[in-house]
Chain A
Amino acid sequence: MKRKKRIKTIIMSSLTGLVVISFAFPFVWMLLASFKTQAQIMSPDEFLIFKPTGQNYVNVFNEYDFMKFIINSFIVAAGSTLGSLILGLPAAYAIARHRLQGLGLVILVARIIPGITFLIPWFIIFSQLGLVDSYLSLILSHMLVGLPFIIWVMISFFEGLPTEIEEAGLIDGCTPTQVFLRIVLPISGPGIITSSLLSFIFSWNNFMFSIILAGDKTKTLPVAVFNFMSYSEINWGALMASACVITLPVLIIALLAQRFIVSGLAAGAVKG
């Protein structure tokens, strides 16, 4: 019996190891390749042990002005997250407290509709307004992903807050607005962090809207990496370096805020 249990533990552990390796492998491969020369990538003998070079990163930043794209991506991601919070927090609160379920459903529909359905009309309208290749059009389009998400997560968060605190606030003479701003929001930190982080990541990663609505001046990282990919399709080292540059901030957020992100992704699920 004991032996059987030990065998079971060994099997489980090795399976777990296999799973971890499979899911981590592409990242390891990306990181290693980004420090290799073209010749080293070509040679299977130098898979793990090789003399690393930083040249790929130098190329990415010097020849291809990645700094500009990083700044663009940051402006758009921060702007769209901020905009979504400003519009989304009051809305989520009202929906949660006043049971505006119909409105909640409309927001859910936003999550279901294929984003590309919006892209053609936006492109036409933004073109006519001269707003293609502006931060405004990118921020607005990215808010389409961020806003419904923030509202959705925050509805369930606000619903989970005990109403007693708010009632106590009202009895103390606060107006409902003050209750929201001075009592509810300060204790909603975890929910706000969770939803903002994910909204930021969604915007940072967004490719489909950006490839059409961003131009030379506002090009974001995913578009830059994509252009770079077909431009120098054969220079794998530099490509992997650019992939590392774009993924790194997201991975850092994920590592530092693991708990928040898991709960955020699950929040969408719990409510269904």
Chain B
Amino acid sequence: MKRKMKRWMQGTLAAVLAVSMLSACGGGNDKPSQGVEGEGAAKPFQGKKLSIATANHPWGDAIKELIPQFEEETGMKVDVQSYFEDQLSQKLTVQFTSGSATPDVFMYSPLQHAKQFYNNGWLQPLDEYVTKNADYDFEDFSKASVSTNTIDGKIVGIPTITEQHILYYRKDLLEEANIAVPKTMDELLAAAKALHDPSKEMYGFSARGQRSALVSQISSFMYSEGGEFMRDGKAFLNSPESVKGMNTYATLLRDFGPPGVLNMSWPQAIGVFAQGKSAFFADVNSIYLNAADPEKSTISDQIGYAVFPAGDAGSQPFNIASWGIAMNAKAADKDAAWAFIEWATSKEIMLETQKLGNPGSRLSVWASPEGTVAFPKELAEVTMETQKGGVDHSLPQVNAVGEARDIIGSIVQRAITGEDIQAAADQANKEFQALIDNESGQ
């Protein structure tokens, strides 16, 4: 009898052990994988594993294609996980909050994350690394893009992508209707109206309508009317200038936009344009290939690019260092992580990614004739024109950017659904002010 019980206990114990062993496997993986030391200097990181998180941005796709080359050179094994922008942001926050050592290296949006992530101690300062290797030539990065990635005097990320807000249009449609390329907001509204014909599935204007995604897009509309998210530490959303800018955007989408626009981020919005269903599309220049690549687009040969239209304050689109690449402060092997960053942002690779259509942050790449070969001539001209001026941010400069985006985005969503925009802006302004006060109080 005793033996039976013992057996039962053993059985239970074995099962418990089995369960805890499963967990041990999970826990075990947390530890840095020890590379096989070998072959010496030629492949210093032979057998090391590196995990990278990217956004589903064309740059992420381009770098993924080039990674086998990096693996070949260093002997590292690179695991890439891609996320949609919103999800990447949430994913990174959750991982870092829980003290995760992965991902080692990640794509991030400095305007949204640099401040918050650095203040939480999640970003590894890179000042020592960037000067290690003279060939890397850190001076080559544009000053503006580096300053976006600098918090409290520390370099917290390396800029990879610069973006400008531009207007895409359909050359054939404008020509047919004898409409000139709009140079002002009023002309854009009139042209979108003239070309809007929903019965033929042709819409005047397409752009992001999703609450959080649209916030960066309305920034240029507000700036061009003299508006802003905040001014001198005060919420500025319900000022006449800001409301006018947002109202133009909301009107374009409400009256001349495609159906279902409230659920559209940029991939869907540019999809509408690429399927030949909208006359205008406004967004950043760096995603132009989604419309200009004949494999993805039915109107690839009819695209025109124009400088962002002017409002009362002129043409003031954002001109930003929108994406960077940064290192987890808890990364297991920081030298390996840096090796990847150094490679991905080296002159050679940035030239490669730029040749694939990703506007980069290195001056030498822009200066070389090969650097602009990818871009249609008109797009290159518009880009260089926009780079001369513009505003250096597209999101409010607070810590809790995610929450602020939800507050601000709802103004435009409510306006698109026909609610009074001033009332929506007044309410959002109050909430946004509370958020600002709360942050400055700490």
Give the contacts of A113-146 with B (CB-CB under 8 A): 123, 126-127, 130-137, 139
Say yes or no: B79 contacts A130, CB within 8 Å: no
Say yes or no: A130 contacts B87, CB within 8 Å: no
Q: A177-B8, A231-B82, A233-B267 are contacts. A133–B30 as well, Cβ < 8 Å? A: yes
Q: Is A43 an interface residue (CB 8 A)?
A: no
Chain A contact surface mostly = helix
Say yes or no: B84 contacts A132, CB within 8 Å: no
Say yes or no: A234 contacts B267, CB within 8 Å: yes
Say yes or no: A127 contacts B99, CB within 8 Å: yes
Partner of B84, one of A130, A177, A216, A233: A233
* Total count of chain A residues near the partner, CB < 8 A: 32
Residues of A contacting B271 in the complex (Cβ-Cβ under 8 angstroms): 234
Say yes or no: A82 contacts B15, CB within 8 Å: yes
The CA-CA distance from A131 to B30 in the complex, in Å, is: 9
Q: Is B26 an interface residue (CB 8 A)?
A: yes
Say yes or no: B30 contacts A134, CB within 8 Å: yes
Residues of A contacting B231 in the complex (Cβ-Cβ under 8 angstroms): none
B363 to chain A, nearest CB (A): 32
Q: Is B94 an interface residue (CB 8 A)?
A: yes
Give the contacts of B75-116 with A (CB-CB under 8 A): 79, 81-84, 86-87, 94-95, 97-100, 102-103
Q: A79-B22, A227-B83 are contacts. A132–B98 as well, Cβ < 8 Å? A: yes
Say yes or no: A216 contacts B94, CB within 8 Å: no
The residue of chain B having its C-beta at the shortest distance from the C-beta of A42 within the complex is B275
Say yes or no: B267 contacts A136, CB within 8 Å: no
Q: Is B20 an interface residue (CB 8 A)?
A: yes
Q: Is A83 an interface residue (CB 8 A)?
A: yes
Q: Is A41 an interface residue (CB 8 A)?
A: no
Q: Is B27 an interface residue (CB 8 A)?
A: yes
Q: A230-B87, A231-B83, A231-B84 are contacts. A135–B99 as well, Cβ < 8 Å? A: no
Say yes or no: A134 contacts B8, CB within 8 Å: no
B91 to chain A, nearest CB (A): 8
Say yes or no: B102 contacts A215, CB within 8 Å: yes
A242 to chain B, nearest CB (A): 14
Residues of A contacting B30 in the complex (Cβ-Cβ under 8 angstroms): 130, 133-134, 217
Residues of A contacting B99 in the complex (Cβ-Cβ under 8 angstroms): 127, 130, 132
The residue of chain A having its C-beta at the shortest distance from the C-beta of B85 within the complex is A230
The residue of chain A having its C-beta at the shortest distance from the C-beta of B271 within the complex is A234
A216 to chain B, nearest CB (A): 5
Say yes or no: B95 contacts A82, CB within 8 Å: no
Q: A127-B97, A177-B5 are contacts. A83–B19 as well, Cβ < 8 Å? A: yes
Q: Is A22 an interface residue (CB 8 A)?
A: no
Fill in one digit per residue for A158-179: 1 if any B CB lies within 8 Å of its CB, else 0: 0000000000000000010110
The CA-CA distance from A181 to B1 in the complex, in Å, is: 13
The residue of chain B having its C-beta at the shortest distance from the C-beta of A140 within the complex is B23
Residues of B contacting A75 in the complex (Cβ-Cβ under 8 angstroms): 22
Residues of B contacting A231 in the complex (Cβ-Cβ under 8 angstroms): 56, 82-84, 87
Interface on B for A, CB 8 Å cutoff?
Answer: 1, 4-5, 8, 12, 15-16, 18-20, 22-23, 25-27, 29-30, 51, 56, 79, 81-84, 86-87, 94-95, 97-100, 102-103, 265, 267-268, 271
Rank and list the top 4 A-B pairs by shortest CB-CB distance, nearest first: A136-B23, A134-B26, A230-B84, A127-B98
Interface on A for B, CB 8 Å cutoff?
Answer: 75, 79, 82-83, 86, 123, 126-127, 130-137, 139, 175, 177-178, 181, 212, 215-218, 227, 230-234
